[in-house]
Amino acid sequence: MLHNVKDMGRTNSPLGDFEQLVLLALIRLGPDAYGATIRREIETRTGRDLAISAVYVTLDRLENKGLIRSRIGDPTPQRGGRRRKLVEILPAGSQALERAYRDFRVMTDGLERRFGQR
Amino acid sequence: MMRSPVSPRPPQLAAWLAAARLRGDEREFQLGDLEEEFADRAARDGVAAARRWYWRHAFRNLLTRGGRGRFARATPVPHPSPGDLMRSIRQDFSFAFRLMRRAPVATLAAIVTFALGLGANIAIFSVAWPVLFAPLPFADEARLTVVQLIFTRGGRSFPNNVSPGDYFDMRKATSFERMASYNQFVSQVNLTGHGDAMQVRLNSVNDDFFTVLGVRPIVGRPLQSGDAEAPAPVAVLKEATWRRVFGADPAIVGRTIALDGDGYQIVGVLPDSAGLGTRDADVWIPRAQPPSNIRRAYFLGVVGRLKPGVTLDAANQELAAIMRGAAREFPDSNRDVSAAAFSFREQLTGPVRQTFLLLVGAAACVLLIAALNLAGLQVARSLQRGREMQIRLSLGASRSRVVRLLVVESVVLALVGGFAGLWAATAMIASLRSLAPALVWSTSSVLSSTTVLTFTALLSVFSGVIVGALPAWRAARPRGSLAVQTRDVTLGRAGTRARASVVSLQVGVTVVLLIVASLVSISLLRVLRINPGFDLSRSLVANVSLPGGKYSSAADRTRFFDTYVERLAAIPGVEAACATNDIPLDNPGANMTFVADGSTALVGSNPKTVTPGCFATMQIPILQGRGFSARELEPVAIVSARMAAALWPPASEQAPDAHAASVIGRKIHLGLPAGDLLTVVGVVPDILNVSLESRAERQVWLPHSFGYFPPERVMVRTSVPAEAVAPAMRSALRELDPSLALARVRTMDEVVATATASRRFVLVLFAAFALVALVLSAVGIYGVLAHVVGQRSREIGIRLALGARRGAVTRLIVGHMAIAIAAGAAAGVLVARLMSTWFASLLFRMSATDATVYAGVVGFVGLIAVVAAWAPTRRAARVNPVSALRAD
């Protein structure tokens, strides 16, 4: 398989399943989201037990794609004096998510009975 | 919110693991997130749950691919599914097995090395683990204590048994849920009605004793409160007795057994481990609480169960207060007497803990040496396979994938070696157990095979990973273009230095182990060469105990033993026979005091009551006066030289003989100045009574017709091998009284072997470990030198071609190795000296820093090193410059 290096990082590549979850969590959490809150949000809602490093790998990728941006917060005592990396979703991220949602809805249209109402 | 100083922190090791694979710039945020969640969870679910959560996430961080910047790909790479991972690990394993088949000699060498190193550890683990760490078979053992009196005499404090009066007082302590006592003296009784009469050990305990201990019965029930007052006497059996005598009859409960003619109904069977809490016995009978007014007889062992939450310190303060009260009330008996509770486990394992820790340390040293050899072997092999590794890397294998391949190979070798070691260790463990009755407390300390298997597997995998990982990491270093790799099979200067220091380390550790092993073995030889003052050879001893009913009077007992000894002496092959209350070196019993007539000074001694033939049987010469005659008309005694000197201190110039002669005809009181008067009729040499390793004791010999301390043992000296007369001794007893049993028939050599068993146990292990260490180090030295010579043969060739002398070239090659060996030996001597206080307790009357032994060991190790270095050095000296250069 050949890759064109310049294509990498373009926003029009489709979102992965986990990327979607992280972006949705960012929308739910608002502008002051960070690793721990994202991990917990996904864990409590989906029941998936996630490694924190998995969240960070995905955040890294989303930032490279230009879908989110991050800034460094202040150190807090609960974190043993460490700082937070706060992330928020960019308009491009929202658009990508909307596109994914639309695709998903179009593709599942008429199949609701099959998947049930959860 | 400010963090208070006591708020829980995530486990440090886990935090370190979690950070291990994180990119530097991300570490802060991710660790911060983990710690924040940890704090939340600790507040919500408790610290333990939060710790578990943190550990899990630390491991996940470690295992998550892509967490580390260097490996992060620009394109999203699908995470390998678990199936992929398993498949590729399976590939690694099958590749490892293929490689092992291809290089059988190297594989065998690695497996044997692993087997030696791991086997040593498995053997010691199986024996030491139950003693040091395994839970005791008692409910909630942490609350169990042993309670003892503390006597202070002449500025020294020592623990002692408890008297019934003190026990009665101590039971008032509120720190204890319950206290119970057992009799420190185990009696031998005759069990009849099941084939031949046999002797069993009988002990009496408070009826609630086993409930306090928390023993779970195998069949029926333990003794319980009220049993002592039950109309029909009851008893419980030990499991081993139940199996041996009653064939593990499940319907044993309710049956009645006869002990010395009295009937006891069996109510239950207790596991063998129940004996750990008391004196070991075969049968236990209940006894009511002892009378509270006896204070000067110290014969009770006491266990106490602390109330939940009460500390040992608090209990001890309360006990001390109670004993202070008793001292005020009973100053005669209780002045300078206190009491203390000790952790049950400490009491049980304290004496052997240090020995076992030393042995565990020695085994770990063996594994270290083995691992160093193997790591060296792996480095050499991975260098040879450098090209293969580079091809793998060039074709796109990640470095971690290549490392995993090499580590899997080493783990496979370790597992095969580990199970070979387990097989060898299993054979050893059985003999170790039989050697260590004094150290390993009971048959209950048998490790389950699952535990040993798990330990073997874990230790093998661990050693395999350690041995494989480091060389693998080096080998899998990407090194530019393939073309350069074809010749890169050398180690480089740093590598050679590393291997020289490995040799130093191995030699050092070997020297330490050999020094300890030598000192321990010299100590054992010294103990065995001690002259106990009587002759041990061709002697047989056995127990005979007379039941109270039939032989209640002293005259009955005297008559019985006179007749039995007479019949023993008549057995063909028996030169002399006698009966006595106890046998020297075989747990001799009672002590009592004597007073010289006209003096008030009490002199303690171990009294031995003997039939007249005993001095001839033990080959103890009469120094002065006479031995005992068959019928002594008046009370007489024979004293040992030391006892004579203690009773009547000799004048400063008096020769020993003259002093001994002077005491004949003098009189001593038994017990107290008002006690019965005995006339000294003879003086004999001192003998070693309690143990070969203690000093000779003051001894008073009394005729058995005297009545006190009735004989319980018989001893014969034979002109034929001692064991051969045992059947005749048995039938002679049966003819005399079929209800009696001849028990524990042993030669005196066996008695001594039992007494020195723990010494031999330690020696066997240390010697084995030291030997393995020596062999492995020799192999290590050989391996390093052979490698260096092979690697530098071209250089040697060039030097020779340029006119260097062979001797000088050889010195150049082996010189630095000689320095490494010498440095290792010197370090070993130094470490042994520094550690000498630790192993001094294993030695017998010799210095733990004995210079001769140290020098001998260093010389020996040097010799072995020369032997190991011989072949490679010769090869270096014989390098042919032409062929070495042509090889290019």
Tell me whether residue B469 is in a domain.
Answer: no
Q: Do B695 and B533 contact (CB within 8 A), yes or no? A: no
- Number of domains present in the structure of chain A: 1
Tell me whether residue B242 is in a domain.
Answer: yes
Residue (of B766, B786, B95) closest to B373 by Cα position: B786
Say if residue B719 is in the same domain as residue B759: no
Q: Write the CATH number for A73.
A: 1.10.10.10
Residue B31 and residue A39: Cβ atoms within 8 Å? no
**Chain A residues lying within 8 Å of B32, measured CB to CB:** 36, 76, 79-80, 82-84
Spatial CB neighbours of B351, under 8 Å, sequence gap ≥ 6: none
Say if residue B720 is in the same domain as residue B852: no
Q: Give the ipTM of the model, two decimals please.
A: 0.84
Tell me whether residue B90 is in a domain.
Answer: no
Residue B64 and residue A54: Cβ atoms within 8 Å? yes
Of B3, B37, B67, the CB nearest to A36: B37
* Blockwise average pLDDT, block size 10, chain B, 888 residues: 59 79 79 89 88 86 52 42 68 76 79 89 82 76 90 79 88 90 82 78 86 87 84 88 85 87 89 76 84 78 91 92 90 84 83 81 90 80 72 75 81 89 79 59 54 86 85 66 44 67 88 90 87 87 84 85 93 92 77 80 83 91 89 87 89 82 88 83 89 82 82 91 90 90 88 81 84 87 80 81 84 83 92 87 85 92 87 81 69
In angstroms, rounded to a whole number, what is the distance separating the alpha carbons of residues B109 and B267?
Answer: 58
User: How many beta carbons lie within 10 A of that of residue B271, not counting itself?
Assistant: 18
Residue B76 and residue A40: Cβ atoms within 8 Å? no
Say if residue B147 is in the same domain as residue B281: yes
Supply φ then ψ for residue B793, to 5 degrees.
-65, -30
In angstroms, the separation between the Cα of residue B61 and the nearest Cα of chain A is 6
Of B668, B701, B736, the position where a domain reaches its end is B736
Whether A56 has its CB under 8 Å from any CB of chain B: the answer is yes
Tell me whether residue A59 is in a domain.
Answer: yes
Mutate to test the interface with A, among B29, B56, B60 (most CBs of A within 10 A): B29
- Determine the Cα angle at B9 with ends B4 and B14, to 5°: 170
Say if residue B526 is in the same domain as residue B568: no
Say if residue B769 is in the same domain as residue B724: no
Buried b (16+ CB within 10 A) or exposed e, B799-815: bbeeeeeeeebbeebbe
- Tell which wins on pLDDT, A49 or B87: A49
Residue B22 and residue A3: Cβ atoms within 8 Å? no
Say if residue B786 is in the same domain as residue B693: no
pLDDT tens across A59-103, in order? 988 998 889 998 888 888 778 778 888 999 999 999 999 998 898
**Chain A residues lying within 8 Å of B6, measured CB to CB:** none
Judged on CB neighbours under 10 Å (0-12, 13-18, 19+), B783 is buried
Q: Do B257 and B191 contact (CB within 8 A), yes or no? A: yes
Of B56, B71, B86, the position where a domain reaches its end is B71
Say if residue B330 is in the same domain as residue B186: yes
Say if residue B730 is in the same domain as residue B799: no
**Chain B residues lying within 8 Å of A78, measured CB to CB:** 1, 3, 35-36, 39
Whole-number pLDDT of residue B80:
53
Tell me whether residue A48 is in a domain.
Answer: yes
Residue A85 and residue B67: Cβ atoms within 8 Å? no
Q: Do B693 and B759 contact (CB within 8 A), yes or no? A: no
- Going by pLDDT thresholds of 50, 70 and 90, the confidence category of residue A12 is low
In angstroms, the separation between the Cα of residue B42 and the nearest Cα of chain A is 12
Residue A35 and residue B9: Cβ atoms within 8 Å? no
Whether B36 has its CB under 8 Å from any CB of chain A: the answer is yes
Tell me whether residue A114 is in a domain.
Answer: no
Residue B32 and residue A82: Cβ atoms within 8 Å? yes
Residue A83 and residue B75: Cβ atoms within 8 Å? no
Say if residue B861 is in the same domain as residue B773: yes
Which residue segment(s) compose the domain that A82 sits in? 16-108
Q: Do B766 and B565 contact (CB within 8 A), yes or no? A: no
Mutate to test the interface with B, among A65, A79, A86 (most CBs of B within 10 A): A79
Whether B14 has its CB under 8 Å from any CB of chain A: the answer is no
Whole-number pLDDT of residue A87:
92
Residues 558-597 of B with CB under 8 A from A: none
* Closest chain B residue to A17, measured at CA: B78
Residue A52 and residue B3: Cβ atoms within 8 Å? no
In angstroms, the separation between the Cα of residue B351 and the nearest Cα of chain A is 45
In angstroms, rounded to a whole number, what is the distance separating the alpha carbons of residues B103 and B601?
Answer: 81
- Going by pLDDT thresholds of 50, 70 and 90, the confidence category of residue A1 is very low
Of A5, A53, A76, the CB nearest to B64: A53
Tell me whether residue B444 is in a domain.
Answer: no
Q: Do B771 and B369 contact (CB within 8 A), yes or no? A: no
Whether B140 has its CB under 8 Å from any CB of chain A: the answer is no
Whole-number pLDDT of residue B515:
92
In angstroms, rounded to a whole number, what is the distance separating the alpha carbons of residues B170 and B147?
Answer: 9
Say if residue B510 is in the same domain as residue B558: no
- Number of domains present in the structure of chain B: 4
Of B681, B712, B736, the position where a domain reaches its end is B736
Say if residue B711 is in the same domain as residue B628: yes
Say if residue B191 is in the same domain as residue B300: yes
Which residue segment(s) compose the domain that B760 sits in? 495-530+752-888
Whole-number pLDDT of residue B570:
93
Sign for the pseudo-dihedral over CA of B559, B563, B564, B566: positive
